[in-house]
Amino acid sequence: MDQERKNDQRAFLEQYFLSTKEAINQLDVSQQTFYEWIKKYKIEKIDLNGTILYFKEDVDWLKKQVKDERDVL
């Protein structure tokens, strides 16, 4: 596979997906809290040969959802 195609594929992944660590950092929560939220809100994950990825769109939604719930309290 040529380098340009690899770069395009990396760019695609970076545009639409987050690793677990990236998602936790974006949400600014502990790993335990993150996994509780993933379970509670049934956030889809993708297992890519052992690498877990989350849709950026879902993580953004989760961040807004939790913020809205906190604002109500």
For residue 34, pLDDT over 80 is answered with yes
Confidence of residue 69 (pLDDT cuts 50, 70, 90): confident
Candidates 19, 63, 62, 67; CA nearest to 43 is 62
1-69: CATH architecture: Orthogonal Bundle (1.10)
Confidence of residue 73 (pLDDT cuts 50, 70, 90): low
| Structure confidence by residue, pLDDT tens digits, 49-67 | 999 999 999 999 999 988 8
Mean pLDDT over each residue of the chain, to the nearest integer = 92
What residues have CB less than 8 Å from 52, skipping those under 6 apart? 19, 20, 45, 46
Q: Enumerate the domain spans of the chain.
A: 1-69
